[in-house]
Amino acid sequence: MSINPLKMLSGKVQAMEESATIRMAQKARDLAAKGVSVISLSLGEPDFDTPEFIKEAAYQALKKGNTKYTPVPGTMDLRKAICDKFETENNLHFEPSQIVVSNGAKQSIANICLATLDEGDEAIILAPYWVSYVEIVKFAGGVPVVVSAGIEDDFKVNAAQIREAITEKTKLLIFSSPCNPTGSVYTYDELEEMADVIGENGNILIIADEIYEYINFTGKHASIGAFEKTKNLTATVNGFSKGFSMTGWRLGYMGGPKWLADACNKVQGQVTSGAASFSQAAATVALKTEKTEALAMKEAFLRRRDLIIAKLKEVPGLKVNQPQGAFYVFPDISHYFGTTNGQVTIKDADDFSEAMLTEAHVGTVSGAAFGNDQCIRLSYAASDADLIEAVSRIKNALASFKKI
Ligand code: PMP
Ligand code: GLU
């Protein structure tokens, strides 16, 4: 008897898109495994090792036998350290009972969506957005309502656009700042205008994804949850993957209203339980220590941003803006739509990204995955030599593409 997987799998999972960032990173790895020299600028992952003192704290925790289940929302030590961090760095006031530590910020976002969305509820997502927001919202039964801004607006949506998108069914507003994929940073004033709109409504929860907080080139990071009108309407999500270069440790967290933390705790308690015990012990030390390494990584990213932007500006036809944070650039590549090199034709951003992999051996991600089909994303979490070489390969490959 043959099994038909389509009958076995849920409609929900069949409707789910695979993560484009992860797919493109895998494609680059597959090509490299065939012996091709590929430069992968597809996955958003710092290329630095986790700072030594954080690793040391994990070894010590393991040696002390810190290898058991922790409370589902995280150890009290870590939750207290997160409360202190929120207080001193973000002007957000939480008790440990309002914090839920998860297996990455991705799980924090999934917990919140599962805890708040009923079938048909709407979630406003600011585009360009991080790939997983849309799929998590849909998986939770919600309906993504995408509100977009283009390169001419520095990829930043304004408060009036958000006001227009709100309906009686709106439950969530989701965005990241600094933004993945654009690197754009919402200013204090822009956030305050958004906070006015959400505060006036009173029934919408904001998911403020601040995972790139420490990679912000504008100076001070602003949190939308710090405004009086949104302090009870915001779940602030953060984590250790980016600022501390701890992607493999799987540790993120959210701080929000107690009713939401309780609900996330319940969801997580049935799905995964608490995050890894020794990751939490090490992260507690990371939060309590001077952010010297995080600062050094930010400086390195800033230098690389300037390098890759300068190089991309030399590529004919690309439109590039100046990202203010994270480690991504999001050039508009639409000039090349309707071109061919004889073998490969580019009609959209997916084709462009694919062509850069096959023709230039550079891994990128199509902007379509982030809600913008005119652009591609390049991660500059790579060495100077790789960045220079990658853009030079792109430039050379594009030189042979001519209008059809
Ligand atoms: N939010 C954004 C904007 C991201 O880029 C990522 C990707 N790392 C995450 C959340 C999830 O991070 P993690 O699960 O590794 O904490
Ligand atoms: N967030 C990173 C990215 O955007 C890692 C991959 C993922 O989790 O989707 O590339």
Residues 6+ away with beta carbon under 8 Å from 117: 123, 137, 140, 141, 142, 171, 172
3-state secondary structure the chain: CCCCHHHHCCHHHHHCCCCHHHHHHHHHHHHHHCCCCCEECCCCCCCCCCCHHHHHHHHHHHHCCCCCCCCCCCCHHHHHHHHHHHHHHHCCCCCHHHEEEECCHHHHHHHHHHHHCCCCCEEEEEECCCCHHHHHHHHCCCEEEEEECCHHHCCCCCHHHHHHHCCCCEEEEEEECCCCCCCCCCCHHHHHHHHHHHHHHCCCEEEEECCCCCCECCCCCCCHHHCHHHCCCEEEEEECCCCCCCHHHCCEEEECCHHHHHHHHHHHHHHCCCCCHHHHHHHHHHHHCCCHHHHHHHHHHHHHHHHHHHHHCCCCCCECCCCCECCEECCECHHHCCEECCCCEECCHHHHHHHHHHHHCEECEEHHHHCCCCEEEEECCCCHHHHHHHHHHHHHHHHCCEEC
Atom of ligand 1 nearest to the CA of 180: 3
Q: Is 245 in the pocket of ligand 2 (CB under 6 A)?
A: no
Residue 220: predicted pLDDT = 86
Lowest mean pLDDT, pick from 40-44, 100-104, 163-167, 332-336 = 40-44
Give Cα separations from 254 to 155, 217, 326 (angstroms). Answer: 25, 23, 19
Query: Domains, the chain, ranges and CATH?
Result: 5-49+293-396 (3.90.1150.10), 53-288 (3.40.640.10)
Q: What is the mean pLDDT of the chain?
A: 97
Residue 219: predicted pLDDT = 85
Distance 158 CA to ligand 1 centre (A): 23
Residue 32: predicted pLDDT = 93
Q: Is 182 in the pocket of ligand 2 (CB under 6 A)?
A: no
Residue 138: predicted pLDDT = 97
Q: Is 326 in the pocket of ligand 2 (CB under 6 A)?
A: no
State what percent of residues in the chain have pLDDT above 90.
97
The answer to whether the CB of 374 falls within 8 A of the CB of 367 is yes
- pLDDT for residue 10 is more than 90: yes
pLDDT in tens, 160-185: 999 999 999 999 999 999 999 999 99
pLDDT in tens, 101-138: 999 999 999 999 999 999 999 999 999 999 999 999 99
Q: Mean per-residue pLDDT for 140-167?
A: 98
Instruction: Identify which of 18, 19, 22 to mutate to test ligand 2's pocket (most ligand atoms within 8 A of the CB).
Output: 22
Q: Is 180 in the pocket of ligand 1 (CB under 6 A)?
A: yes
Q: How far is CA 289 from the centre of its chain?
A: 24
Residue 1 pLDDT grade (very low, low, confident, very high; cuts 50, 70, 90) = confident
Atom of ligand 1 nearest to the CA of 105: 16
Whether omega before 178 lies within 30 degrees of 0, making that bond cis, reads: yes
Q: Is 183 in the pocket of ligand 2 (CB under 6 A)?
A: no
Which residues on neighbouring strands pair with residue 378, listed in sequence order? 329
Residue 70: predicted pLDDT = 98
Atom of ligand 1 nearest to the CA of 109: 10
pLDDT in tens, 338-382: 999 999 999 999 999 999 999 999 999 999 999 999 999 999 999
Entry field: residues in the chain: 404
Distance 370 CA to ligand 1 centre (A): 14
pLDDT in tens, 185-222: 999 999 999 999 999 999 999 999 999 999 999 988 99
Q: Mean per-residue pLDDT for 226-236?
A: 98
Distance 330 CA to ligand 2 centre (A): 15
Q: Is 381 in the pocket of ligand 2 (CB under 6 A)?
A: no
Distance 181 CA to ligand 2 centre (A): 10
Distance CA 165, CA 167 (A): 6
Atom of ligand 1 nearest to the CA of 45: 8
Residue 386: predicted pLDDT = 97
Atom of ligand 1 nearest to the CA of 103: 14
Distance 336 CA to ligand 1 centre (A): 30
- Which ligand is nearest the CA of 105, by number? 1
Q: Provide φ and ψ at 156, rounded to 5°.
A: -115, 125
Q: Mean per-residue pLDDT for 231-249?
A: 97
- Which ligand is nearest the CA of 109, by number? 1
Distance 296 CA to ligand 2 centre (A): 22
